[in-house]
């Protein structure tokens, strides 16, 4: 069924490309400029979106082996991810249940974690196995003092977690079947080549750029080129979106050859055609395919809001189908990844920071999203809807029955 849906999207893009048309929103939409600058709204977004909704916290290839772990902070919540002996992933509150000190920092491989404050020890499945000087401390129920668990879900080579221990929202239901389509990338079994973290502007300003081909031949004229496409058709699964340029051609992986998709049967359509474009996972992920080092690759951008309304940070993961082997392949892969850093840091995010500073003047009351910018329109609708939804309303929005009725 997933391939059938991917083929249908591809055929729609081919038809629009052949006719030199695109799909439009019904109207131009106005969004209050304060959406980007209001500090009270920003804190509510951090709380109701990033600390309440499922987040894609790591590609699976970042934790490939049993014992691998990663500690991170998301909007003030310390998170610990671990790969268990059985291959599953655990997501825990990275706070010792004695006094709350983080039990580990950074990344690595370990079967146990010993808190650096008083020496309490936990297995990497969260179990408390050792209390320092137990006779002096006093008797405790170790089973009641394990690391606190967060909901966690792994599929399509990606790991999600919800930073709410009591969340009743199913991560799978929240994804609306989108994760099944992401399997087309084949991330299971891929390798993490490199990663870096970049400072950025307001998180919504940054995310707007993920959903926008309109700016490509203008802002990126010196990198992608002034003749680059600027049209996009959008596909939606709840708040999650794919945008792709309407065209009857797709570039063959590893070459400049353009494949005419009108000459291919559905069965012959390659992965390049089925996964082209940008795939976004609300509220903070962008996935785009690239080629470097002689291998298929993808840039997975993981965006989080910063401490203030005008700040964000993005971790870029460059994942590859296979690890480059030769010196030339490694060099080529680094060149591709470095090129993408320049595009995002010096063009997208530098522009976003200037834009945010100007909006903070308060002199502009609204910003516009044109009929050709449907993705941005839908993104802001969902951001507002989920920021202000109650916990009960959130469950209703993503319940199976609700989605079926909407379809």
Domains of the chain: 2-53+184-406 (3.90.380.10), 68-151 (2.102.10.10)
Distance between the two ends of the chain, CA-based, in angstroms? 16
State mean pLDDT over 197-223.
97
State mean pLDDT over 77-104.
98
Res 210 pLDDT > 50: yes
**350-359 vs 203-210: helix axis angle to the nearest 10?**
130
Query: Token match 């029955």: residue?
Result: 401
State mean pLDDT over 239-252.
93
3-state secondary structure the chain: CHHHHHHHHHHHHHHHHHHCCCCCCCCCEEEECHHHHCHHHHHHHHHHHHCCCEEEEEEHHHCCCCCEEEEEEECCEEEEEEECCCCCEEEEECCCCCCCCCCCCCEEECCEEECCCCCCEEECCCCEEECCCHHHHCCCCHHHHCCCECCEEEECCEEEEECCCCCCCCHHHHHCCHHHHHHHHCCCCCEEEEEEEEEECCHHHHHHHHCCCCCHHHHCHHHHHCCCCCCCEEEEECCEEEEECCCCEEECCCCCCEEEHHHCCHHHCCHHHHCCCEEEECCCEEEEEEEECCEEEEEEEEEEECCCCCCEEEEEEEEECCCCCCHHHHHHHHHHHHHHHHHHHHHHHHHHHHHHHHHCCCCCCEEEECCCCHHHHHHHHHHHHHHHCCHHHHHHHCCHHHHHHHC
Percentage of residues in the chain having pLDDT higher than 90: 92
Phi, psi of 10 (to 5 degrees): -65, -45
Query: Residues near 100 by Cβ (< 8 Å), separated by ≥ 6?
Result: none
State mean pLDDT over 111-126.
98
Res 274 pLDDT > 50: yes
Res 407 pLDDT > 50: no
Confidence grade of residue 366 (pLDDT, cut at 50, 70, 90): very high
Residue 406: the pLDDT is 42
| Range name among 158-162, 170-174, 277-281, 401-405 with the lowest pLDDT average | 401-405
Res 115 pLDDT > 80: yes
Res 286 pLDDT > 80: yes
Query: Residues near 171 by Cβ (< 8 Å), separated by ≥ 6?
Result: 54, 151, 152, 153, 160, 161, 162
125-149: per-residue pLDDT in tens? Answer: 999 999 999 999 999 999 999 999 9
**Cα 397–398–400 angle (5° rounding)?**
115
52-62: per-residue pLDDT in tens? Answer: 999 999 999 99
Query: Token match 């990126």: residue?
Result: 220
Can you tell me the distance from the alpha carbon of 178 to that of 109, in angstroms, rounded to the nearest whole number?
31
Res 402 pLDDT > 50: no
| Range name among 1-5, 71-75, 203-207 with the lowest pLDDT average | 1-5
Residue 271: the pLDDT is 87
State mean pLDDT over 378-399.
97
Percentage of residues in the chain having pLDDT higher than 70: 98
Residue 347: the pLDDT is 98
State mean pLDDT over 3-16.
96
Residue 294: the pLDDT is 85
- Token pair of 116, please? 């650096």
Confidence grade of residue 400 (pLDDT, cut at 50, 70, 90): low
Query: Residues near 43 by Cβ (< 8 Å), separated by ≥ 6?
Result: none
Average pLDDT, the chain: 95
Confidence grade of residue 309 (pLDDT, cut at 50, 70, 90): very high
């Amino acid at each position: 069924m997933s391939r059938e849906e991917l083929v249908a999207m591809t055929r729609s893009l081919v038809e629009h490309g052949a006719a030199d048309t695109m799909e439009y929103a019904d109207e131009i939409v106005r969004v209050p400029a304060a959406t980007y600058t209001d500090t009270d709204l920003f804190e509510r977004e951090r709380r109701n979106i990033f600390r309440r909704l499922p987040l894609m916290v790591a590609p699976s290839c970042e934790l490939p082996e049993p014992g691998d772990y990663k500690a991170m902070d998301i909007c003030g919540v310390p998170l610990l991810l671990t790969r268990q002996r059985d291959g599953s992933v655990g997501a825990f509150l990275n706070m010792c249940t004695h006094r709350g000190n983080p039990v580990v920092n950074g990344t690595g491989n370990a079967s146990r974690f010993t808190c650096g404050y008083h020496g309490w020890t936990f297995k990497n499945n969260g179990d408390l196995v050792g209390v320092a000087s137990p006779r002096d401390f006093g008797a405790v129920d170790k089973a009641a003092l394990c690391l606190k668990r967060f909901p966690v879900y792994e599929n399509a080579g990606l790991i999600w977690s919800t930073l709410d221990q009591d969340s009743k929202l199913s991560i799978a239901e929240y994804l609306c079947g989108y994760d099944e389509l992401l399997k087309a990338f084949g991330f299971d079994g891929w390798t993490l080549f490199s990663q870096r973290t970049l400072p950025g502007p307001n998180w919504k300003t940054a995310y707007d750029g993920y959903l926008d081909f309109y700016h490509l031949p203008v802002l990126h004229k010196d990198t992608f080129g002034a003749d680059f496409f600027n049209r996009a058709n959008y596909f939606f699964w709840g708040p999650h979106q794919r945008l792709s340029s309407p065209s009857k051609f797709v570039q063959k992986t590893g070459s400049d050859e353009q494949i005419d998709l009108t000459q291919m049967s559905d069965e012959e359509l390659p992965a390049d055609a089925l996964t082209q474009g940008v795939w976004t996972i609300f509220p903070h992920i962008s996935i785009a395919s690239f080629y470097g080092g002689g291998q298929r690759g993808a840039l997975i951008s993981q965006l989080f809001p910063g401490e203030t309304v005008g700040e964000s940070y993005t971790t870029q993961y460059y994942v590859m189908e296979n690890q480059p082997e030769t010196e030339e392949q490694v060099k080529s892969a680094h060149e591709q990844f470095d090129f993408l850093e320049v595009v995002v840091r010096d063009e997208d995010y530098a522009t976003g920071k200037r834009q945010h500073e100007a909006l903070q003047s308060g002199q502009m009351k609204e910003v516009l999203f044109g009929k050709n910018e449907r993705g941005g329109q839908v993104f802001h609708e969902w951001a507002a809807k989920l920021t202000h939804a109650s916990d009960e309303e959130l469950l209703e929005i993503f319940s199976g029955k609700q989605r079926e009725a909407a379809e």
